[in-house]
Structure 1
Amino acid sequence: MDRDIDTGSAHSARIYDYIIGGKDHYPADREAGDAMCREWPALPVHMRANRDFMNRAVRHLAAQAGIRQFLDVGTGIPTSPNIHEIAQSVSPASRVVYVDNDPLVLALSRGLLNGTPEGRTAYLEADLREPASILGAPELRATLDLTQPVALTVIAIVHFMMDEDDAVGVVRRLLDPLPSGSYLAMSIGTAEFAPDEVGRVAREYAARGMPMRLRTHAEAEEFFTGLRLVEPGITQVHKWHPDDTATEPIRDEDIAMYGAVARKP
């Protein structure tokens, strides 16, 4: 049975959906998004750049690294192209497991499980903070072969994990059981490029029960200890393998997210 969806309180996934132009949000989310954009008008640019980074990273992993299995933790509200659409456009046999713990995401995800006949997609309701429940889930074991490389994608979520949540340790526990040749792709919130503006946005989130832990470049590096970073390493998301789809230049000060992709030796 689905859990009730709290439509009266703003939710990070729905705020994100609203700001990037989606349709799955409620008045509380729109109020929050509008307040945040007043504090930092570049927020939509920042969020779209993060989404574009994820798309480029997945395409790189599928087309250049030959990855055919993806584990996406903290999926958020489906927004096309989704990971399985990108991966299966490269190799129709690609397999994807989406993980989130929000009931609205669960309800909406039912429509995204339709991938190619050759591939497979699954949705798992679980919490990033409980890696064992993710890795041991029957849905995951039925979809992914953990003896073969897997790309673990953790996009725009660890900034909602406080120090006591041990984000680095959680990501490591998800990555440790994956075989050599697997990859980690992450985007990590930072306030290093627009500290005042991003700080005000963080206060708006915190006022709605969503405190944020923004990280420095050095702190972002901790997630990739022992891994081999794909060039150009840890950089602002718009600078990671940029393509020619951007309609206008993006200023560094309008991006508050580091992105990186790394291979497990």
Structure 2
Amino acid sequence: MARFVILTGAGISAESGLGTFRDKDGLWTRYDLREIATPEGFAANPRLVHDFYNARRKNAAEALPNAAHAALARLEKALPGEVLIITQNIDNLHERAGSRTVLHMHGDLFRARCTACGHAWDAPAEMAPGDPCPACAHPGTRPDIVWFGEFPYFMEEIWDALRRAKTFAAIGTSGSVYPAAAFVQDAARAGAHTLEINLEPSETVNDFAEARHGRASDLVPEWVNEVLARTG
């Protein structure tokens, strides 16, 4: 059972150079989400969607994990079987930092999925309309990303983990997107201590028992050190 359930959002990867979505200069200010992050947008213009995610895949591959990612990996290594990371991010910086128990609720930029049979596989650096599925050969592969209007992955596992957690921490997330915005309430109802670590107060900050505001690369290592000092 994971004693520590940790939700991470775009803010934890921003310090690694990956763009956030909802800030004043975020990705949604430069792109129409209906065109590049919906099934309808993909059906209308798959080339545009693939170009967008190809660029994001390249950006993510060139980015490096930061101190916050490294601290969470250190926590998991020190407390095997007791740490679960749920991430809204589609990059692989948690894994590259050394975390092994990571649920990508919004999908994985480095995976591809068939629109016909649902088979998923490791994505190439460049995807294109007409790429055949390796399982059924259907020429309609897409990034394995949860788009607007689609249901997030791993939700049964996530709800179960939240009900069992002793500590729930949300790091670098705006608190504005459901169902993740409700995780703190579910964890609190089950008796978990709840903590927000964010650059500034989120939309759900009042739902947390504790809040720390500042750079994730500063605050997450501090928090992990405190946890390990208590549990060590």
Same topology, TM > 0.5: no
- Please classify the TM superposition score into its range, dividing by the shorter chain length: 0.3 to 0.5
TM-score by length of 1: 0.38
Structure with the larger RCO, 1 or 2 (CA within 8 Å, 6+ apart): 2
